[in-house]
């Protein structure tokens, strides 16, 4: 039987500045999900990258008196380095300035045009460059963008339009027939309300020129979102590698935050419908992080970039752990250094670190039963061997798997850490340093190996260390995994 596949993506980020904790969050969650599916033996493709065209990038480049390509070329390594530091194991880092992507954009624009879904019109509207989107008067707050709080600019230009409004019924049917298309489910209502006055979408620009020229009118460049969304096709070989594309498409999961939900659950599926391409299975919309209760923003508030983030505990795994443990995936969260340090100390160091160092120390000292006692049939063995580990039995793996499938990562971690508590109590109660009971130590070792497996998607570096240590022929007391702060 062919192996199951899983294709997961993050948004492609604007490389107009270095990545911060918000970008790191989405990319870490993507990595955790990708690793979780790898652990199940699936063929996984994990895509992330950068969104390099559009006015936002052009303006940022101008400020630095650079041309846009030069400008993004300098920022892209910042993203790649950040992801490397955070142990992100992606399969491709896509850049929308890459040739294969441009080809895809041209092809889809032509397809949608040939279908009769694109027409020339005139657009006058209020534009927020920060969002790269037009707003209606109604959406603005005192004439300002609700997200960036900056004044929306009045723009008027000849523009090609995509017949988005024609797809309203199809979208409603899509949400109804596929209850997992938008997750968490509470987001659906908001979208359905907004569909009420669904307008056609302006998909070309003439007021600047950093973008991909329309194949049917080279005086216009493609709207950056029409270009960017298509990265999900390019990323798995659309028009380039049929085998790969047919294996991985449709995407199983697009991860986005609520700021760009509309583009992913309304515009994106409609583009695909028009082009006659299968739709992704799920768009998971997560919440927004604040930093000490303040918006993460360069202009108004505090930005915490990836290097600053790592330097708080000096341990990448504690960041990965914290971000997934602190708030339910889907909700908003608040980041604070103290909260991170607390979880690092109280959970990773005191619970996990303590268990690992204590048990490895005891095993080093007293030895361990290595195999089943001779001549005793498996089902007669007393609670140690042959899957009859009494301690391990207290772990509800099926529940953990279910929680993971439901994207309830905070609960997954909670469940694993409850089992870690049980293991620590087991050591305390059984007192193997007095009894020198090698079976107890064996049970603990097996349990710790299991814990390492389950934690691997979240804290891969520490999990691998634990696995290596406890699989060795001679188990030795470990170096400290999480130094207390
Ligand atoms: N380029 C577009 C996405 C195109 S996808 C086809 C874009 N880029 S962005 O750089 O602004 O990144 C937005 C994404 O970054 C959010 O959807 C989210 O994944 C992540 N986050 C940015 N700030 C965040 C927080 N404060 N909190 C949580 N996630 C945040 O939009």
What is the per-residue pLDDT across 212-225, written as a single tens digit (0 to 9) for each? 999 999 999 999 99
Query: Can you give the pTM of this predicted structure?
Result: 0.93
Domains of the chain: residue spans and CATH: 337-470 (1.10.730.10)
> Which run of H or E residues covers position 16?
none
Q: In sequence order, what are the residues at sequence separation of 6 or more whose Cβ sits closer than 8 angstroms to the Cβ of residue 320?
A: 28, 31, 32, 86, 87, 458, 459
pLDDT exceeds 80 at position 308: yes
Cβ–Cβ contacts within 10 Å for residue 8, how many? 27
Of 465 and 137, more confident: 465
Q: What is the pLDDT of residue 299?
A: 66
Clarify whether 145 is annotated catalytic: yes
- Give residue 3's region: left, alpha or beta (phi > 0; psi -120 to 50): beta
Q: State pLDDT tens for residues 328-346.
A: 999 999 999 999 999 999 9
Q: What is the pLDDT of residue 229?
A: 98
Q: What is the pLDDT of residue 370?
A: 59
Cβ–Cβ contacts within 10 Å for residue 137, how many? 9
Q: What is the pLDDT of residue 438?
A: 87
Q: Which of 34-43, 189-198, 362-371 has the lowest mean pLDDT?
A: 362-371
Q: Which residue's C-alpha comes closest to atom 20 of ligand 1? A: 23
Catalytic residue among 5, 295, 388, 467: 295
pLDDT exceeds 50 at position 226: yes
The rounded percent of the chain whose pLDDT value lies above 70 is 95
12 CB near ligand 1 (under 6 Å): yes
Q: Which residue's C-alpha comes closest to atom 22 of ligand 1? A: 22
Q: Which of 114-118, 362-366, 399-403, 417-421 has the lowest mean pLDDT?
A: 362-366
Q: What is the pLDDT of residue 302?
A: 75
26 CB near ligand 1 (under 6 Å): yes
User: Residue 346 burial (CB < 10 Å; 0-12/13-18/19+)?
Assistant: exposed
Clarify whether 144 is annotated catalytic: no
pLDDT exceeds 50 at position 244: yes
Q: Give the model's confidence band at 371: pLDDT under 50 very low, under 70 low, under 90 confident, else very high.
A: low
Whole-angstrom distance, CA of residue 485 vs CA of residue 255? 33
**3-state secondary structure at position 111:** helix
pLDDT exceeds 80 at position 369: no
Q: What is the pLDDT of residue 99?
A: 98
Whole-angstrom distance, CA of residue 417 vs CA of residue 351? 8
Clarify whether 423 is annotated catalytic: no
DSSP one-letter code for 207: S
Average pLDDT over residues 68-97: 98
Q: What is the pLDDT of residue 378?
A: 44
457 CB near ligand 1 (under 6 Å): no
Closest CA to 309 of 294, 321, 299: 321
Catalytic residue among 53, 145, 423, 439: 145
Ligand 1 geometric centre to CA of 16 (Å)? 12
Give the atom of ligand 1 at the shortest distance from the alpha carbon of 255.
Answer: 19
pLDDT exceeds 60 at position 382: no
51 CB near ligand 1 (under 6 Å): yes
Q: State pLDDT tens for residues 393-420.
A: 999 999 999 999 999 999 999 999 999 9
Q: What is the pLDDT of residue 97?
A: 98
């Amino acid at each position: 039987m062919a192996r199951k596949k899983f294709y997961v993506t993050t948004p492609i980020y604007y490389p107009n500045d270095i990545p911060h904790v918000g970008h790191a969050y989405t990319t870490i969650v993507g990595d955790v999900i990708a690793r979780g599916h790898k652990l199940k033996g699936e063929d996984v493709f994990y895509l992330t990258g950068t969104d390099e065209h559009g006015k936002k990038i052009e303006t940022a480049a101008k400020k630095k008196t650079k041309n846009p390509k030069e400008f993004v070329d300098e920022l892209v390594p910042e993203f790649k380095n950040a992801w490397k530091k955070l142990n992100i194991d992606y399969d491709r880092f896509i850049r929308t300035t890459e040739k294969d992507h441009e080809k895809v954009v041209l092809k889809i624009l032509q397809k949608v045009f040939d279908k009769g879904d694109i027409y020339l019109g005139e657009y006058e509207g209020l534009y927020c460059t920060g969002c790269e989107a037009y707003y209606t008067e109604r959406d603005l707050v005192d004439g300002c963008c609700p997200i960036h709080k900056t004044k929306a600019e009045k723009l008027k230009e000849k523009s090609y339009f995509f017949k988005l409004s024609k797809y309203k019924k199809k979208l409603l049917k899509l949400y109804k027939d596929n209850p997992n298309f938008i997750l968490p489910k509470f987001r659906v209502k908001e979208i359905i309300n907004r569909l009420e006055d669904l307008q056609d979408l302006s998909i070309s620009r003439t007021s600047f020129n950093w973008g991909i020229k329309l194949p049917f009118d080279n005086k216009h460049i493609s709207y950056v979102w029409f270009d960017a969304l298509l990265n999900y096709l390019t990323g798995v070989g659309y028009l380039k590698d049929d085998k790969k594309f047919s294996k991985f498409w449709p995407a199983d999961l697009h991860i986005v935050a609520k700021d760009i939900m509309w583009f992913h659950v309304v515009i994106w599926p409609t583009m695909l419908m028009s082009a006659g391409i299968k739709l992704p299975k799920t768009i998971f919309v997560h919440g927004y992080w604040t930093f000490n209760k303040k918006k993460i923003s360069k202009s108004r508030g505090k930005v915490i970039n990836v290097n600053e983030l790592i330097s708080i505990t000096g341990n990448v795994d504690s960041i990965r752990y914290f971000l997934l443990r602190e708030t339910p995936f889907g909700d908003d969260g608040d980041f604070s250094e103290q909260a991170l340090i607390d979880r690092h100390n109280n959970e990773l160091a005191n619970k996990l670190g303590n268990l690992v160092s204590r048990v490895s120390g005891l095993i080093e000292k007293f030895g361990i039963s290595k195999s089943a006692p001779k001549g005793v049939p498996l089902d007669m063995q007393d609670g140690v061997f042959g899957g009859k580990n009494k301690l391990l039995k207290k772990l509800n793996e099926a529940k953990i798997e279910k929680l993971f499938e439901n994207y309830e990562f905070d609960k997954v971690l909670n469940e694993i850490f409850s089992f870690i508590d049980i293991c620590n109590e087991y050591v305390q109660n059984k007192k193997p340093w007095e009894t020198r009971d090698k079976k107890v130590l064996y049970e603990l070792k097996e349990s710790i190996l299991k814990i390492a497996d389950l934690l691997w998607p979240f804290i891969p570096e520490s999990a691998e260390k634990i696995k290596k240590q406890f699989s060795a022929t001679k188990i030795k007391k470990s170096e400290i995994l999480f130094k207390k702060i």
